[in-house]
Amino acid sequence: MAVYTDVAADELAEYLSHYDLGELMSYKGIAEGVENSNFLLHTSQGSFILTLYEKRVERIDLPFFLGLMTHLATHGINCPQPVLNRAGEALGVLAGRPAAIITFLEGIWPRKPTAGHCAGVGEVLARMHLAGADFGMTRANALSVKGWRPLFAAAAPRADELQPGLAGFLAAELAYLESGVWPNGLPRGVIHADLFPDNVFFLGNRLSGVIDFTFACDDMLAYDVAICLNAWCFEGDHAFNVTKARAFLNAYTRVRKLSGAEQDALPLLARGAAIRFLLTRLVDWLNVPPGALVRPKDPLEYVRKLRFHQTVASVRDYGFEAPGMVA
C-alpha cells in the first residue's frame, strides 16, 4: 500500500455519499507498499480500506481482483470483501482514479516472521490454490517471464547507480531465463503472486487473513510457492533460513501435493520470482513521483536472494524432503 494520489475531504465525502457506510469520522493515507493509493477510513459504521488503483493496474482487471476475493471468501479464505454502493457496484472513480472500498481485516503483519508464521502461510496458500480451481474468471500474468524485458529496459540505463555491475548481472540472468529454460506444463490456476508478509495478517499466532489481490492472475501454482520462498524464508541480512522454508513447504504439501515436476522446477521458478521483484523494485526505486507518500522497497535485497537461488541444485536445498510426493 502507498499514497500516490491525495484525496480531498470534500471529494471523499461526496464519494461516500453513494454508500451506506454512515458518517465519515476520519481518514488517513497508508504509506506501506508501492502499487496503489490506500487510505484507512473510519466511519460511524466501522473501519474500511479505500484503494485508488494506479500504475500497473488496468481498470479492465479490477472485476477479476474483486470477484476473486468474494470467491475465496465463499471457500473459507478470510480476505477483505468489496463494499457495494447503493447502485450495487463495487467500482467507482475518485480523484480521477478507479476506486473501491473493501472491508477492514483485523490483525497485524509479522515484521519478523517465524517458522510458525511460514507454516501458516504455506497452509493458506495451498488452500487458496485449491479454492481458486473453480473461479470463473481468468487474467494473464503480465509480470511473468515475457514481461521482464520491458522492465529491464526501463531500469538498465541507471541500474549501476544503485550498484556497480547491476545492469550486467540482470542482463545475464534475464538472457538465461529467456533462453527456453522457463518451465511449462506444470499445474496452473489462480495465484496470489504477491503474498509478502505485509499482505498476511495474524492475531497472535493465528493467521487471520490475506489482503491485496492486485497482482492475482493465472499462472503456475508452483510459481506462487517460489514467490513465497523469496518473501518469507530469508532473514533480515538476506541469508536463507532453511527451517522456515521447510515449515512453509511441508505445510503447503499437507494441503496440496507438489508433483515431481513442480519440485524439480522450484529452484528455477525461485530465480524467476527473484528477478521479477528485483526488476519491479528497481523501476519503482528509480521513479518515485515527487511528493508521493510511499516507501520504495530496496531492490538490492533481491540481488542476494537471486544469487542464492542460482546455487540451488534441487528442492532439497530448500530443506524439503517430505515423503509421499506424486510424480
Other beta carbons within 10 angstroms of residue 18's beta carbon come to 12
Torsion angle in degrees (nearest 10) through CA of 218, 256, 126, 183 = -40
Assigned superfamily of 115-318? Aminoglycoside phosphotransferase (APH), C-terminal lobe (3.90.1200.10)
pLDDT, position 33: 54
Structural contact between residues 119 and 207, judged by C-beta atoms closer than 8 angstroms:
no
Structural contact between residues 103 and 81, judged by C-beta atoms closer than 8 angstroms:
yes
Lowest mean pLDDT across 41-55, 216-230, 249-263: 41-55
Asked whether residue 1 carries a pLDDT value surpassing 70, the answer given is: no
Asked whether residue 75 carries a pLDDT value surpassing 60, the answer given is: yes
Q: What is the spatial distance between Cα 97 and Cα 116, in angstroms, rounded to a whole number?
A: 39
Lowest mean pLDDT across 119-123, 173-177, 285-289: 285-289
Residue of 326 and 288 predicted with greater confidence: 288
Q: What is the spatial distance between Cα 319 and Cα 241, in angstroms, rounded to a whole number?
A: 9
Grid coordinates representing 180 are: 527456453
pLDDT, position 291: 58
Find where cell 508464521 sits.
117
Q: Provide the CATH number for the domain formed by 9-102 in this structure.
A: 3.30.200.20
Structural contact between residues 225 and 258, judged by C-beta atoms closer than 8 angstroms:
yes
For the chain, first and last CA: distance in Å?
40
The pLDDT-based confidence of 296 (bands split at 50, 70, 90) is confident
The pLDDT-based confidence of 294 (bands split at 50, 70, 90) is low
**For range 93-111, the mean pLDDT:** 94
Lowest mean pLDDT across 129-133, 240-244, 282-286: 282-286
Asked whether residue 184 carries a pLDDT value surpassing 70, the answer given is: yes
pLDDT, position 324: 47
Question: What DSSP assignment string belongs to 182-240?
Answer: S--SS-EEEE-S---GGGEEEETTEEEEE---TT-EEEEHHHHHHHHHHHHSB-TT--B
The pLDDT-based confidence of 3 (bands split at 50, 70, 90) is low
| Ranges of CATH 3.90.1200.10 domains, the chain | 115-318
Classify the phi-psi angles of 107: left when phi > 0, otherwise alpha if psi is within -120 to 50, otherwise beta.
Answer: left
Which tens digits make up the pLDDT trace of 118-168? 999 999 999 999 999 999 999 999 999 999 999 999 999 999 999 999 999
The pLDDT-based confidence of 5 (bands split at 50, 70, 90) is confident
The pLDDT-based confidence of 34 (bands split at 50, 70, 90) is low
Q: Which burial class, exposed, middle or buried, applies to 154 when counting CB atoms under 10 A from its CB (0-12, 13-18, 19+)? A: middle
| Ranges of CATH 3.30.200.20 domains, the chain | 9-102
pLDDT, position 54: 83
Which tens digits make up the pLDDT trace of 297-322? 899 999 999 999 999 999 999 999 85
C-alpha dist (Å) from residue 248 to 129, 138, 226, 258, 320 = 15, 27, 11, 13, 9
Structural contact between residues 249 and 225, judged by C-beta atoms closer than 8 angstroms:
yes
Q: What is the spatial distance between Cα 186 and Cα 189, in angstroms, rounded to a whole number?
A: 10
The string over 45-63, giving b where at least 16 C-beta atoms fall within 10 Å of a residue's C-beta and e elsewhere, is: eeebbbbbbbbbbeeebbe
